[in-house]
Amino acid sequence: MMKKFKFLTRESIKSKINTKAFKLINLALLIIIVALINLDSIVKLFGGDFDELINIYVVDEVGVYDDFKTIIDNSYLDVLENYNAEVKIAPKSLDELEKEIKEDESKDIIINIKEVENLTYDNVFDVDFISYEYVDTILYQDIVNAINTVKISRAMSLANIDESILSSVYKGEEINRIMLSEDVKENEEFMELIGSVITLIFVVPFFLLILLIVQMIGAEINEEKSSKSMEIIISSVSPEAHFMSKLISANVFAIVQGILLVVYSLIGIVIRVFTSSGLNGLINNTLGSSANIGTINEYIKLFLESDMASKLVSGIPLFIVLILLSFFAYSLLIGILASITTNMEDYNQLQTPVMVFLMIGYFLAIYAALYQGSIFIKIMSYVPFISGILAPVMYTLGEISIYGLLISIFLLIVVCFLLYKYGLKVYKVGILNYSSSKLWTKIFNALKS
Amino acid sequence: MLKVDHVTKYYDKFKAVDDLSFEIHEGEIFGLLGVNGAGKTTTFRMIMGLLDITKGEITLDGKKIDYSISDKIGFLTEERSLLPSKTVLEQAIYYGVLKGLDEKTVEKRLDKYLKEFNIESYKNQKIKELSKGNQQKIQFIISILHEPKLLILDEPFSGLDPISVEMFKKIILRLKENNTMIIFSSHMMEHIEYFCDSLVILVKGKSVLEGKLTQIKKDYRRKNIKVIADLDEKEVKKLDGVISIEKNKDEYTIKIEDEKYVSTIFKKISKYKNVVKFVVEEPTLNEIFVSKVGEAYDEEV
């Protein structure tokens, strides 16, 4: 019997992996994942309007260009670099520049700083901001801020305030941030952001792999039932062996696919590191525009020094156990459901509640980083079928302890045991049942037997 | 020997098989007949060990049927039980290994049968790409690859052309010669008559007729008289013991209630002109089946 069980398992794995579809899908996944990780490089490779240099021409009648340029360089250089913009003194007359921008429909900007007739402290110069179309709000706002700073500087100079005083006035106030909570960790505000990113990186593959398991077990059992092969198979191997072979093959497939996803991601990262974008670009993509609050290296440093990184590393063995148990629990449940259906349509209907359950876990895992301290999410992280996706996220975010993980694992083991014990009885009856009439009576009788 | 001993099967409160008993010996072909829903599939499933028996016992060579001896049984189901996405070779290996063979033996035997059926080119073709008839051939081949001691054939000729039917017949008879026990189920009574040594007819799970086919026919009192003569149909119909008279071209078939009426009818027929044929024949199995099943339903009503 063991020989037949091994054969069934091997055949089942082979029928999933040794197919053109699997190879094609994985080739597509490799391309997609590598492309996603290097998306900015790909976008830049093809070029476009975003790639165009924005010249910010300053027409200066007043003589404040140097001040303006200094302020820009000191305070707004990152923003200008993001927009690929450069401040320079106007090389041509205002009319010529306007004509050029209009004809080329260019993104260049003219800052025309003009003398005023009646100089007052609140009116030290007039400024025209000239562009072909609307300029991005952030860029516009930062240029306006720089101009305002120049204006204050000029007004104070008019008031004969000494340069050293002026410099002292401009010097930023050093603020000591004091938080009374003992639990507050250093740079926690950034941790929430990083936590959200890590949650997504973990949750999406888990969700996809469970989906794969659900679809594969259902399709395989239904194919064997609808083609009546089941009778021939079950006359040769016991329903237990058949059931376990389906579960093990689906789980092995999910694990192989999971490992391949990690490998594809590593390939993407390696390509990124060795291309011009470098590691900074990778993190920039991940964090989006919010990355302006600090440099990328700071983020990596913050993450590596934080509890989150050490928790993530220390939790990995238990995460793996929890994830594998979750895969198994879903396989058991879905195998039982597939056995009692008579065709793929019935199965699709029956699997919907399971998918909803999975979706709950998916969304709670995403919300976990946003609603830190939520008691509801904490309780849900112990619930089997949800814990596999939620508990590792909660542990990494510091919302549950290692004991919380162990409780989730224990509850999952109990559920797997009960599902196997009682589900097998249903499976034995279900796989040879081709009629939906009196189905629940048959299931009930099977459970009683 | 396969022994089905007072077997009863209930599905909840529904009695699917009722105190069924029969024996099949080596080299014997046994007919299991019945209308749809008579309990044939349930009986097959119990013999295959797929269903628990409510009462009674089924043994093969004295052993209760379980997974230790299930490899000795081959089953050709009425519906196609092949996996459409597999190739013929993959399918043969799949079922063959599950029946205890190694992959090399499966391929060797498959090649032999494919050649015999003249369909070697289908070896690496997917099941779903084959015609119904060819799928049936593959299903039949796979069911006998492991040289079963007991072979269950449920409507084996379904979807086959006459030439393939002849091929199947040849192989079935060869299996019989090789001492395979065969349970044969079909609604085509001429096939049952051709193959079966003994049979059982089921009505609502209960046996209404069982025994050796020759004895069943002998015991069945109704006979058919084939006559070619210039006779008066109305007069013959009025004779004692005549159930009906039918004309097909020049030949009349007179169905009579009992063999004892033959001499009276012969005397009457001999008086007509141009009598060239008067033959008393055993009834066909089809007639016996229809009659017995009909009686069983009438009794119930």
DSSP B188: -
Greater confidence (B169 vs A432) lies with B169
Which residue, chain included where needed, has tokens 């796979």? Answer: B142
Which residue, chain included where needed, has tokens 């949800």? Answer: A386
Say whether A445 and B73 touch across the interface (CB within 8 A).
no
Neighbours of A69 (CB within 10 A): 17
Query: What is residue A340's predicted lDDT score, i.e. its pLDDT?
Result: 86
Contact B222, B256 (CB under 8 A): yes
User: Angle A153-A157-A159 (CA atoms, 0-180°, nearest 5)?
Assistant: 120
Say whether A223 and B83 touch across the interface (CB within 8 A).
yes
Contact A5, A233 (CB under 8 A): no
Task: Return the residue in A16, A235, A434, A445 with the most chain B beta carbons within 10 A, the one to mutate for interface testing.
Answer: A235
Helix (H, G, I), strand (E, B) or coil at A422: helix
Average pLDDT over residues B69-77: 90
Q: What part of B 223-282 touches A (C-beta under 8 Å)?
A: none
* Reported ipTM: 0.81
Say whether A432 and B70 touch across the interface (CB within 8 A).
no
Nearest C-alpha in B relative to A444: B12
Task: Return the residue in B11, B13, B71, B83 with the most chain A beta carbons within 10 A, the one to mutate for interface testing.
Answer: B83
Say whether B67 and A228 touch across the interface (CB within 8 A).
no
Q: Which chain B residues are within 8 Å of A1, Cβ to Cβ? A: 67
DSSP B243: E
Which residue, chain included where needed, has tokens 């191997």? Answer: A237
Token reading at A293: 């609050």
The mean predicted confidence, pLDDT, of chain B is 89
Query: What is residue B151's predicted lDDT score, i.e. its pLDDT?
Result: 94
A400 pLDDT above the threshold of 80: yes
Greater confidence (A282 vs A369) lies with A369
CA distance B273 to A85: 122
Average pLDDT over residues A153-181: 77
B111 pLDDT above the threshold of 90: yes
DSSP A289: G
- Confidence band for A39, pLDDT divided at 50, 70 and 90: confident
C-alpha distances (whole Å) from A434 to each of A222, A438, B41 are: 11, 11, 13
Q: Which CATH fold would you assign to the domain B2-217? A: Rossmann fold (3.40.50)
Contact A16, A249 (CB under 8 A): yes
Question: B55-60 and B63-64 as β-strands: parallel, antiparallel, unpaired?
Answer: antiparallel
Q: How many residues does chain B have?
A: 301
C-alpha distances (whole Å) from B271 to each of A12, B231, B241, B276 are: 77, 9, 18, 12
Q: Which chain A residues are within 8 Å of B81, Cβ to Cβ? A: 227-229, 231-232
Q: Which CATH fold would you assign to the domain B221-281? A: Alpha-Beta Plaits (3.30.70)
CA distance A234 to B49: 9
Say whether A228 and B95 touch across the interface (CB within 8 A).
no
- A102, HSE (Cβ side, Cα atoms, 13 Å): 7
Q: Which chain B residues are within 8 Å of A228, Cβ to Cβ? A: 77, 79-81
Say whether B98 and A441 touch across the interface (CB within 8 A).
no
Measured in degrees and rounded to the nearest 5, phi and psi for residue B16 equal -85, -35
Which residue, chain included where needed, has tokens 């320079």? Answer: A88
Say whether B70 and A236 touch across the interface (CB within 8 A).
yes
User: Angle A143-A155-A126 (CA atoms, 0-180°, nearest 5)?
Assistant: 50
A449 pLDDT above the threshold of 60: yes
CA distance A416 to A418: 6
Helix (H) or strand (E) holding B237: helix B233-237
CA distance A423 to A418: 8
Question: Comparing A381-385, B10-14, B198-202, B252-256, which segment has the lowest mean pLDDT?
Answer: B10-14
Measured in degrees and rounded to the nearest 5, phi and psi for residue B225 equal -115, 125
Helix (H) or strand (E) holding A112: strand A109-114
Q: Which chain B residues are within 8 Å of A229, Cβ to Cβ? A: 81-83
Say whether B67 and A236 touch across the interface (CB within 8 A).
yes
- Residue A168's region, left for phi above 0, alpha for psi from -120 to 50, else beta, is alpha
Query: What is residue B7's predicted lDDT score, i.e. its pLDDT?
Result: 93
Query: What is residue A183's predicted lDDT score, i.e. its pLDDT?
Result: 65
- CATH 3.30.70 maps onto chain B at 221-281
Chain A touched by B54 (CB under 8 Å) = no
Nearest C-alpha in A relative to B42: A432
Helix (H, G, I), strand (E, B) or coil at A114: strand
Rounded to an integer, what is the distance from CA A402 to the centroid of its chain? 24
- Confidence band for B203, pLDDT divided at 50, 70 and 90: confident
B161 pLDDT above the threshold of 80: yes
> Which of A188, A130, A161, A414 lies closest to A308 in space, CA to CA?
A188
C-alpha distances (whole Å) from A417 to each of A318, A421, A429, B253 are: 19, 6, 19, 70
Say whether B49 and A235 touch across the interface (CB within 8 A).
yes
Contact B24, B1 (CB under 8 A): yes
Domains for chain A: give ranges and CATH numbers.
Answer: 9-41+187-448 (no CATH), 49-170 (3.40.190.10)
Nearest C-alpha in B relative to A12: B94
Which residue, chain included where needed, has tokens 């045991």? Answer: A417
Chain A touched by B59 (CB under 8 Å) = no
A187 pLDDT above the threshold of 90: no
Residues of A with CB under 8 A from a CB of B: 1, 4, 7-8, 11, 15, 223-224, 227-229, 231-238, 432, 438, 441-442, 445
Nearest C-alpha in B relative to A16: B85
Rg from Cα positions in chain A: 32
Rg from Cα positions in chain B: 23
User: Angle B76-B105-B79 (CA atoms, 0-180°, nearest 5)?
Assistant: 15
pTM: 0.75
Q: Which chain B residues are within 8 Å of A231, Cβ to Cβ? A: 45, 48, 50, 75, 77, 81
CA distance B156 to B137: 9
Say whether A236 and B83 touch across the interface (CB within 8 A).
no
Say whether B81 and A228 touch across the interface (CB within 8 A).
yes
Contact A393, A365 (CB under 8 A): yes
Say whether B95 and A223 touch across the interface (CB within 8 A).
no
Average pLDDT over residues B121-146: 93
CA distance B105 to A32: 44
Chain A touched by B14 (CB under 8 Å) = no
- B190, HSE (Cβ side, Cα atoms, 13 Å): 3
CA distance A412 to B202: 50
Q: How many residues does chain A have?
A: 449
Contact B85, A20 (CB under 8 A): no
- All residues at 6 or more sequence positions from B94 whose CB lies less than 8 Å from its CB, including other chains: A11, B83, B86
Say whether A227 and B12 touch across the interface (CB within 8 A).
no
Q: Which chain A residues are within 8 Å of B67, Cβ to Cβ? A: 1, 236-238
- Residue A432's region, left for phi above 0, alpha for psi from -120 to 50, else beta, is alpha
C-alpha distances (whole Å) from B101 to each of A12, A184, A219, B80, B153 are: 18, 67, 27, 22, 21
pLDDT digits (tens, 9 = 90+) for B172-185: 999 999 999 999 99
Helix (H, G, I), strand (E, B) or coil at B197: coil
> Which of B256, B254, B236 lies closest to B246 in space, CA to CA?
B254
pLDDT digits (tens, 9 = 90+) for A272-307: 777 754 445 545 544 444 444 444 556 666 666 667
C-alpha distances (whole Å) from A399 to each of A199, A203, A229, A379, A420 are: 13, 16, 49, 11, 31
Chain A touched by B99 (CB under 8 Å) = yes
Say whether A441 and B12 touch across the interface (CB within 8 A).
yes
Nearest C-alpha in B relative to A224: B83
User: How close B147 gets to chain A, by Cα (Å)?
Assistant: 15
Query: Who among B77, B83, B85 is closest to A231 (CB)?
Result: B77
- A163, HSE (Cβ side, Cα atoms, 13 Å): 1
Average pLDDT over residues B81-105: 92
Helix (H, G, I), strand (E, B) or coil at B279: strand
- Confidence band for A245, pLDDT divided at 50, 70 and 90: very high
User: How close A207 gets to chain B, by Cα (Å)?
Assistant: 28
A175 pLDDT above the threshold of 70: yes
Query: Who among A228, A236, A442 is closest to B71 (CB)?
Result: A236
Share of chain B above pLDDT 70, in %: 98
Query: Who among A229, A438, A442 is closest to B83 (CB)?
Result: A229
- CATH 3.40.50.300 maps onto chain B at 2-217
Query: What is residue A157's predicted lDDT score, i.e. its pLDDT?
Result: 81
